[in-house]
Structure 1
Amino acid sequence: MTVVDAHQHFWNLETGAYPWLTPEAGPIFRTFEPAELVPQLAAAGVDRTVLVQSMDSYADTDAMLAQADAHDFVGAVVGWVPLHRPEEAAEALERYRRHPRFAGIRHLIHDEPDPDWVLRDTVIEGLRSLAAAGLPFDVVAVLPRHLEHVPVLAERVPGLRMVIDHLAKPPIREKGWEPWASLLARAAACPGVYAKVSGLNTAAGDGWTGADLRPYVEHAVEVFGPERLMFGSDWPVALLAGDYDQVWRETRHALSGLSRDERAAVFGGTAARFYGIQEVAA
């Protein structure tokens, strides 16, 4: 079985521009590169990762593809194209698709002043180019409004595969439930929509354990099924509330009720299929 971390990042503050990353970010306000992650992947037994964009820029995407060229553990790259400029987006997709590990697109929609940015006609046209190319869309859902958009996108862009990052940040710290639970179920009713069991530690806050995550993870399993869920560490953002080993260990604890085959799906099989990651030779 190929074990996949379906959501991690790299950034270099000397060579790249990340306006959202300021000194207020504390421990993650520095450069993070492969040499720091590799031993942590080995300790957890992770074979491949999905390297996900950290900025809406070609420069960030190009840097990630260069990392993929240099490191075999990067099984897929989720980059960026300007979906709101659909003609340019289509041209960029055609160019990036030539790279064998270019596997999807994300946009930091939560940083857009317009909470309905993703429903703009120009963006919908850009997403249609994405669907035509057979590439999926990582959905950043921070507000309930963002999660509400998922079924709308599924209807307006037939054939577009989507994956909701971080289970749309459930209200774990507050021990809340609605409207998150109902909106997630509504999104899961769309067969082309998947979700990442990732970023939950930062939603839970300090002192969290797998027991805190369990109700939210179990709800995700109920509405999506293991075959549409994938584990992600969200490293290095995870360092805001723990470390790689804790996220790996406690997420497995939260999913301990699954069968062996179901765990194999969440911790590798789903991501490998979704992003087209090649199996690791036995």
Structure 2
Amino acid sequence: MSPIIDAHQHFWNLDRVAYPWLTPDQGPIHRTFEEGDLQADLDACGIDGTVLVQSADSYADTDYMLEVADRWPRVRAVVGWVPLTRPDEAAQALDRYRRDPRYAGVRHLIHDEPDPDWLLRPELRDGLDALAERGLTFDVVAVLPRHLEHVPVLAERHPGLRLVIDHLAKPPIRERGRQPWADLLARAAAHPNVYAKVSGLNTAADWETWSAGDLRPYVEHALEVFGAGRLMFGGDWPISVLAGGYRKVWDETVTLLDGLALAPADRARILGGTAVEVYRIPEIP
């Protein structure tokens, strides 16, 4: 039986790490969230393991996540951070971090960068090559159409790099829109080294009223262009607290997948198999 993996969750500790974006106006998520806050939800939903994803562009955040993984084996992989625009420093940091087999990849909060074309900066090329050479992934936080436009460019420049689009690039669910998101996602999916997460969709919908039905057209399109073999479920906790919480995200995702009448193998890929492959998660006993 395939393990069930949540491919996108966070922890943050306000006493240990600086998170410039996490200000009091974030309301219920402006506090420390650690494993004790998530354990019951994972147990209730039958989640075997998670991928812990960075929340700050800092070594401090990455070091903290690896410490959490040391004490909480439910974390099966960590997507951290290195300064990709400083490739020599990034390469040294990657060599240090990847001594830990749980260190699976890198993410940068590109949506917080003033430059919407940050992904295309020339100095980033060597940093992304360093990831590819070491078999690590790059998670893309594509919240603007401009960000998603860059994914095919990166896929062509770095064919050996596994690129993961977080949150299906935040489709316009609340507005019930489709373009340019749908065409841009299809262009990205045309490259076999690009994957995507069915995650964070609840906060792209109406926070109070969303359901599986609101998400369905967008997930159907993702399935059409990626196939189940390049999609993976993510709970996006504790951001998900803003719009229903972990268990609603899980329940509505399962309802959605059941309604799509997927083959068992495809369902298993989305709920764990793709994440195991992409993040090279060791076998779970």
Which category of TM-score, normalised to the shorter sequence, fits these structures? over 0.9
Alignment-derived partner of residue 240 in structure 2: 238
1:190 to partner: Cα distance: 0.3
CA distance in 2, matches of 1:62, 1:23: 24
**Is 1:51–1:77's contact at 8 Å kept on the other side of the alignment?**
yes
Map 1:203-282 onto structure 2 (within 5 A): 203-205=204-206, 206-256=208-258, 257=260, 258-281=262-285
Q: Structure 1, residues 64-97: CA drift from partner, whole Å, max 9, x if none?
A: 0111111110000000000011110010001001
CA distance in 2, matches of 1:275, 1:14: 29
Please list every run of 5 or more consecutive structure 2 residues that lacks an aligned counterpart in the other structure. none
Question: Could you state the TM-score of these two structures normalised by the residue count of structure 2?
Answer: 0.97
**Is 2:83–2:89's contact at 8 Å kept on the other side of the alignment?**
yes
Alignment-derived partner of residue 176 in structure 1: 177
Q: Structure 1, residues 5-33: CA drift from partner, whole Å, max 9, x if none?
A: 00000001111100100111011000000
Q: Structure 1, residues 162-200: CA drift from partner, whole Å, max 9, x if none?
A: 010000000000000000000000000000000000000
Paired residue type of 1:240: L
**Is 1:217–1:255's contact at 8 Å kept on the other side of the alignment?**
no
Alignment-derived partner of residue 39 in structure 2: 38
Paired residue type of 1:212: D
Q: What secondary structure, in the 3-state scheme, does the structure 2 residue paired with 1:43 have?
A: helix
Q: How many pairs does the alignment contain? A: 281
Q: What secondary structure, in the 3-state scheme, does the structure 2 residue paired with 1:158 have?
A: coil
**Is 2:166–2:199's contact at 8 Å kept on the other side of the alignment?**
yes
Q: Structure 1, residues 85-129: CA drift from partner, whole Å, max 9, x if none?
A: 111001000100101100000000010000001111111111011
Map 1:83-94 onto structure 2 (within 5 A): 83-94=84-95
**Is 1:9–1:52's contact at 8 Å kept on the other side of the alignment?**
yes
Q: Structure 1, residues 22-75: CA drift from partner, whole Å, max 9, x if none?
A: 111011000000011011101000000000000000000000011111111000
1:64 pairs with 2:68: no
CA distance in 2, matches of 1:124, 1:220: 28
Alignment-derived partner of residue 48 in structure 1: 49
Please list every run of 5 or more consecutive structure 1 residues that lacks an aligned counterpart in the other structure. none
Moved over 6 A (4+): none
Paired residue type of 2:35: P
**Is 1:85–1:122's contact at 8 Å kept on the other side of the alignment?**
yes
Mean alpha-carbon deviation: is it higher for 120-129 or for 195-204? 120-129
Paired residue type of 1:62: D
Map 1:5-44 onto structure 2 (within 5 A): 5-44=6-45
1:4 pairs with 2:8: no
Map 1:39-188 onto structure 2 (within 5 A): 39-188=40-189
Question: Could you state the TM-score of these two structures normalised by the residue count of structure 1?
Answer: 0.98
1:280 to partner: Cα distance: 2.1
Paired residue type of 2:203: T
Q: What secondary structure, in the 3-state scheme, does the structure 1 residue paired with 2:146 have?
A: helix
Q: Give % identity.
A: 68
Q: What secondary structure, in the 3-state scheme, does the structure 2 residue paired with 1:134 have?
A: coil
**Is 2:163–2:194's contact at 8 Å kept on the other side of the alignment?**
yes
